[in-house]
Amino acid sequence: MMKRLKVEEAVGHVLAHDITEIKKGERKGPAFKKGYIIKEKDVPHLLDLGKKSVYILENSEDRVHENEGAARLADLAQGSGLKRTEPSEGKINLLAAHDGLLKVESSRLKQLNLHPDVMMATRHNNTPVEKGEKLAGTRIIPLLIADEKLREVENELGDKPLMRVKHYEDMKAAVITTGSEVYEGRVEDQFTEVLEEKLEYIGGDVVLTDIKPDDRQQIAEAISSALAAEVDLVVCTGGMSVDPDDVTRFAIEDETDELISYGAPVLPGAMFMLAYADNVPVIGLPACAMFYDVTVLDIMLPRIAAGEKIRAEEIAEAGHGGLCLQCEICRYPECSFGRS
């Protein structure tokens, strides 16, 4: 338990909580940390910080200090691909241990936060993250919490971690650019460079490229050849609108056995198509992906690269958060786009 003492009387006792010091423009952090044994020389400093009295710890088996409480909450969240900071002022942060796709079980996170006196704040599920980025913070609300309350949370949440960061797979992709104007050399192919950059960001590589005119059979043959080369992903660019000479989507249907969606409630990217051929994803990518920095592809590609098979329901759910505001300075993924 805790006991309140005047600072002059607290010498020799163990401090029960961090004491924060703020120096404008210099630092904000603990001047004294929980567990510190107060010394005579600390008394003037504590008084300068406005502390005429402090709380010291008295042993109690049924109460848990904020640092231990934060550690136990972090245990509930920390899955593979995450690491943690040391407790500071009662809080522990969880960081990405490597690049990848953040997975958060939001319904179980809500379960945790429905309990009084505990909290956990995370970034959104399915956010692409880089090594070292902060992903979550957790703490108990009071300085001390009943051990029984923490055990109740732990028993309800169970052993399965709330969060993890999935590695991107070493994805090898084929890019098939369609369009008679590109095939005939009248217009330069700009899609392939865009896709190379986006794949490189998640550790993938374009290993096969082809250019085909607006001909259903030729595009289908190119898709078939790419699949025979055992690539992990086929991306067909262009020819995805409803114009009569846009036949790319029909060629994709010809060479796949599972159509997930033609059309997505995402802007830019409404004419997006996703199908699978023996579980190899085949994407039909509209022209917007060449003109805009961030499109539907940036929502779907990290999940595909993390080895996930995207369902039609998930594409439908992408409408909530599927409107890109095309900000003057793009901060994706640190924005609302794709955050259903």
Distance CA 333, CA 288 (A): 18
Q: How does the average pLDDT of the chain come out, rounded?
A: 93
Which is it for strands 205-212 and 172-178: parallel, antiparallel or unpaired?
parallel
Q: Is the pLDDT of residue 101 over 90?
A: yes
pLDDT score for 59: 58
Kindly provide the b/e burial profile for residues 199-238, where b requires at least 16 CB atoms within 10 angstroms of the residue's own CB.
Answer: bebbebebeebbbbbbbbebbbbbbebbbeeebbbbbbbb
Tokens of 1: 């338990």
Neighbours of 145 (CB within 10 A): 21
Alpha helices in 99-190 (DSSP H): 106-114, 147-157, 180-183
Neighbours of 87 (CB within 10 A): 21
Q: What is the 3-state secondary structure (H, E, C) of 36-65?
A: CECCHHHHHHHHHCCCCEEEEECCCCCEEE
Q: How long is the chain?
A: 340
pLDDT score for 144: 83
Q: How confident is the model at residue 60 (pLDDT cuts 50, 70, 90)?
A: low
Report pLDDT digits (tens) over 157-216: 999 999 999 999 999 999 999 999 999 999 999 889 999 999 999 999 999 999 999 999
145 by DSSP, 3-state: which?
strand
165 — phi, psi (to 5°)?
-120, 115
Q: Is the pLDDT of residue 340 over 80?
A: no
Q: Where are the domains of the chain?
A: 2-57, 63-166, 172-317
Highest average pLDDT, of 55-59, 88-92, 205-209, comes from 205-209
Q: Is the pLDDT of residue 58 over 80?
A: no
Q: Work out the average pLDDT over 71-80.
A: 98
**Is 289 buried (19+), middle (13-18) or exposed (0-12) by CB count in 10 A?**
buried
CATH 3.40.640.10 corresponds to the domain 2-57: no
Name the CATH superfamily, with its identifier, for domain 172-317.
MoaB/Mog-like domain (3.40.980.10)
Q: Work out the average pLDDT over 217-232.
A: 98
> What is residue 97's DSSP assignment?
S
Q: Work out the average pLDDT over 19-34.
A: 85
Q: Is the pLDDT of residue 89 over 90?
A: no
The number of C-alpha atoms within 13 Å of 146 and in the hemisphere containing its C-beta is 6
Distance CA 310, CA 287 (A): 22
Tokens of 136: 């979550």
9 — phi, psi (to 5°)?
-90, -10
- Please state, in angstroms and as integers, the Cα–Cα distance from residue 198 to each residue in 124, 293, 301, 311, following that order: 21, 10, 8, 22
Question: Are the C-beta atoms of 251 and 216 separated by less than 8 Å?
Answer: yes
pLDDT score for 1: 66
CATH 3.30.420.40 corresponds to the domain 63-166: no
What is the model's pTM? 0.85
